[in-house]
C-alpha cells in the first residue's frame, strides 16, 4: 500500500506542467524528448520552452504548443535524452590553456611507453626550444621517482620538462636543470614536501615535488597573455563539447596575475560560453598574511561581472603518488614518512577563521586522512567562532578517509568534491598504502548515506587522463563501476560498496555542483525560471550498459538558450 501511494505521488508530480505566464512566444522549443530535469518536483518531461536565456515552460507536447510563435525555433529531439548542462566543480582551465597543446601522456601506461612517446614528440618538434608535457604517474618509478638520465638519453641538449598527472611533481632532464640553475647547492624550501629529489651525493635527480615545480615553470617563462587566452578559449570549447556549461577553477596556476585579463578578453569576444567561478590559492605559509586580502580584492573586482573570483583555495597536503598526502599511518617502505601538511593545525584554523570572518567560501585540497581531518577540525572551529556564517566549504579529492570523519561532512555542511576518474583500481597506490587505507579510498557512497552533498569535476589538466577524461560521462561510468572504462573484467577499486548510483552521479554533476558555485537558483536543473543551460545526449545513462556510458555522445550543448556546441 505504501509503495502504491509513493508511486502515485511520483506519477502525478511527473505530469504537472510548470510554466511562467505566457506573455510572449518562445524563442526556442525543444520537444519530443526524454527530459531528465533533476528537479524532484517534476523529474521527467518531454518538452521545454525558452525565452531569451531563461526556461519558461517544462512539460508535455500539448502544453508547450501554447508557446509556439512565428519566429520560434522548434527542435524535435526525436526521443533523445536532454538534461541540465554539466557543472564541473574542480578544474584548472587557465593551466589547461597553457598546456593544451603540450605532449599528454597516458597515466595508465608504463615507463617505456612514456619514454617512447617523449622521444616521438622530441623528433616531431625540432623547432620547440623546450619540450613540455604532462601525465606520468610518479609511483610507476618506485620510491625514488623518475630520473634525468632517462630523458638525457632522448635529448642531452634540449630542455625537457614533464609534469606528473596531478601536476604536483615534474620530471626534468639535465638540460632543463641547468637552464633553471638547479644543482646540489639549490636549497629545498620545505624538505620532504616542497623539494628537489636528490641522489646519495646530493645532486638533483631531475624529480621535483610541489612548490618548486611552479617556481621552475615561472622561471622558464610563462606563456604570453595572448597564448594563455587562446589556450583557455580552446579549453572552454572542449568543455562545451562534453556538455559542460559551468566550471569552478580551483587555482589559476600560471595565470595568477593574468586571470582577470583572460576572462575579460574571453567575455569581450563571446568565447566565455560557460559560467565561471574562480579562486585564489595558498600553497605556502609565506602567503598567510596576504591571501585573504588577495581573494577579497578579486571578489570586489568581479562582483558585477558575468564571472566571479570569490573563493579561497587552501592546499592542505600533497598527493598519495608522491607520498606527500598527509596520513596518520606511515607510507609502506618509508617508516618515517607520514606525508606533510602545508600549514600547521593552528595556522589552518586561523586562516579558515579569517576567511569565514570575511564571508569567503573556502575550497580545500585534501587527499590524505590527516589532511581531511585537519580541514574538518578547522571548519568546525571556525563555525563555533562564527555560528551564523553563510560561508560554504568544499573538501576536494578526499582520497583516504577515516570512518569518524564521514558523518562530519554532513553535520558541518561540508561539500565533498571528487574526480571520479581516479576511482579506478590503484595498483601502484596499493604498494605503499596499508590494506586498511586502501579500503578507505573515495568513500562516496558512505558520504551520501551519511547525508553529505557530493559534487564532481575532472581536475583537468591535473587528472592524468587525457582530453577524453574531461568528459563527465567518462567520469560517471568510473564512479558507477570503480573500474577502468569499458572493462567489466577489470579490477574493482575497494570497496565495491562505494559504487554510486547513476541518479546520484548526475545530481553531483548538476545540482550539487551548482550549489557549490552558489548558482543553485540559476542552474543545475531544468526548471521554470532557471537559465537554459542544457545538454542533449544520444542515449540515456540510465538505460545503456554500465560499461558503455563513456560512449554516450553529446549531440548539442546550450548555454543560456544559445547553441555553443553541435555535433552536426
pLDDT tens figures, 462-498? 877 778 899 999 999 999 999 999 999 999 999 999 9
417 backbone dihedrals φ, ψ, rounded to 5°: -115, 135
Residue with cell 569565514: 356
The pLDDT tens digits of the residues spanning 39-76 come to: 999 999 999 999 999 999 999 999 999 999 999 999 99
Torsion sign (Cα): 169, 170, 171, 175:
negative
Per-residue pLDDT at 313 exceeds 60: yes
Distances (CA, A) of 285 to 215, 319, 350, 371, 394: 15, 18, 12, 16, 21
pLDDT of residue 9: 41
Whether residue 461 is preceded by a cis peptide bond, meaning omega within 30 degrees of 0, is yes
Cell of 252: 589559476
Distances (CA, A) of 490 to 165, 176, 426, 444: 21, 38, 11, 20
- Choose among 476, 467, 462: nearest CA to 540: 476
Tally Cβ neighbours within 10 Å of residue 367: 28
Cell of 244: 559542460
400 backbone dihedrals φ, ψ, rounded to 5°: -120, 115
The pLDDT tens digits of the residues spanning 513-551 come to: 999 999 999 999 999 999 999 999 999 999 999 999 999
257 backbone dihedrals φ, ψ, rounded to 5°: -95, -5
Give me the percent of the chain exceeding a pLDDT of 70: 96
Cell of 358: 570575511
Confidence of residue 18 (pLDDT cuts 50, 70, 90): low
- Higher-confidence position of 565 and 127: 565
Whether residue 473 is preceded by a cis peptide bond, meaning omega within 30 degrees of 0, is no
Give the residue-averaged pLDDT of 149-167: 90
Separation CA 368–CA 340 (nearest Å): 9
pTM of the model: 0.90
Beta strands per DSSP E along 173-249: 195-198, 204-209, 244-249
Amino acid at each position: 500500500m505504501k509503495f502504491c501511494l509513493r508511486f502515485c505521488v511520483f506519477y502525478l508530480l511527473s505530469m504537472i506542467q510548470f510554466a511562467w505566464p505566457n506573455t510572449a512566444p518562445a524563442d526556442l522549443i525543444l520537444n519530443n524528448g526524454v527530459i531528465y530535469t533533476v528537479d524532484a518536483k517534476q523529474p521527467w518531461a518531454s518538452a521545454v520552452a525558452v525565452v531569451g536565456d531563461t526556461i519558461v515552460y517544462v512539460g508535455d507536447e500539448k502544453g508547450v504548443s501554447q508557446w509556439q510563435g512565428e519566429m520560434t525555433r522548434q527542435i524535435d529531439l526525436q526521443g533523445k535524452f536532454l538534461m541540465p548542462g554539466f557543472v564541473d566543480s574542480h578544474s584548472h582551465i587557465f593551466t589547461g590553456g597553457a598546456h593544451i597543446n603540450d605532449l599528454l601522456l597516458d597515466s595508465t601506461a608504463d615507463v617505456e611507453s612514456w619514454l617512447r612517446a617523449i622521444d616521438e614528440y622530441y623528433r616531431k618538434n625540432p623547432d620547440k626550444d623546450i619540450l613540455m608535457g604532462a601525465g606520468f604517474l610518479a609511483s610507476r618509478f618506485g620510491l625514488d621517482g623518475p630520473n634525468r638520465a632517462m630523458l638525457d638519453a632522448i635529448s642531452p641538449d634540449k630542455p625537457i620538462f614533464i609534469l606528473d598527472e596531478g601536476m604536483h611533481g615534474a620530471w626534468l632532464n639535465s638540460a632543463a636543470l641547468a637552464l633553471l640553475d638547479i644543482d646540489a647547492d639549490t636549497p629545498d624550501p620545505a624538505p620532504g614536501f616542497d623539494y628537489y629529489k636528490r641522489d646519495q651525493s646530493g645532486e638533483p635527480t631531475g624529480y621535483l615535488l610541489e612548490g618548486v615545480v611552479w617556481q621552475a615553470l615561472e622561471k622558464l617563462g610563462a606563456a604570453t597573455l595572448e597564448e594563455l587566452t587562446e589556450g583557455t578559449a580552446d579549453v572552454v570549447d572542449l568543455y562545451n563539447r562534453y556538455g559542460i556549461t559551468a566550471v569552478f577553477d580551483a587555482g589559476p596556476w600560471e595565470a595568477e596575475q593574468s586571470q582577470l585579463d583572460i576572462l575579460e578578453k574571453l567575455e569581450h569576444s563571446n568565447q566565455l560560453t560557460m559560467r565561471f567561478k574562480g579562486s585564489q590559492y595558498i600553497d605556502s605559509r609565506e602567503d598567510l598574511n596576504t591571501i585573504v586580502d588577495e581573494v577579497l580584492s578579486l571578489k570586489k573586482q568581479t562582483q558585477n561581472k558575468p564571472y566571479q573570483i570569490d573563493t579561497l583555495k587552501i592546499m592542505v597536503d600533497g598527493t598519495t603518488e608522491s607520498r606527500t598526502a598527509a596520513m596518520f599511518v606511515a607510507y609502506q617502505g618509508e617508516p618515517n614518512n607520514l606525508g606533510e601538511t602545508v600549514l600547521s593545525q593552528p595556522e589552518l584554523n586561523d586562516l579558515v577563521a579569517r576567511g569565514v570572518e570575511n564571508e569567503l567560501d573556502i575550497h580545500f585540497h585534501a587527499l590524505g586522512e590527516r589532511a581531511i581531518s585537519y580541514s574538518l577540525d578547522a571548519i568546525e572551529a571556525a563555525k563555533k567562532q562564527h555560528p551564523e556564517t553563510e560561508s560554504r566549504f568544499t573538501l576536494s579529492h578526499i582520497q583516504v578517509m577515516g570512518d569518524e570523519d564521514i558523518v562530519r561532512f554532513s553535520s558541518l555542511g561540508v561539500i565533498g568534491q571528487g574526480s571520479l576518474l581516479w576511482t579506478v583500481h590503484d595498483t601502484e597506490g596499493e604498494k605503499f598504502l596499508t590494506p586498511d587505507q586502501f579500503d578507505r579510498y573515495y568513500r562516496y557512497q558512505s558520504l551520501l548515506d551519511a547525508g553529505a552533498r557530493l559534487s564532481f569535476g575532472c581536475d583537468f589538466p591535473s587528472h592524468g587522463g587525457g582530453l577524453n577524461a574531461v568528459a563527465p560521462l567518462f567520469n560517471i561510468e568510473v564512479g558507477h563501476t570503480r573500474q577502468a572504462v569499458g572493462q567489466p573484467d577489470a579490477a574493482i577499486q575497494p570497496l565495491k560498496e562505494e559504487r554510486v548510483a547513476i541518479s546520484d552521479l548526475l545530481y553531483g554533476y548538476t545540482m550539487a555542483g551548482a550549489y557549490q558555485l552558489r548558482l543553485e537558483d540559476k542552474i543545475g536543473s531544468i526548471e521554470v525560471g532557471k537559465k537554459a543551460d542544457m545538454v542533449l545526449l544520444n542515449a540515456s545513462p540510465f538505460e545503456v550498459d554500465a560499461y558503455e556510458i563513456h560512449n554516450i555522445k553529446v549531440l548539442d550543448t546550450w548555454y543560456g538558450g544559445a547553441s555553443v556546441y553541435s555535433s552536426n
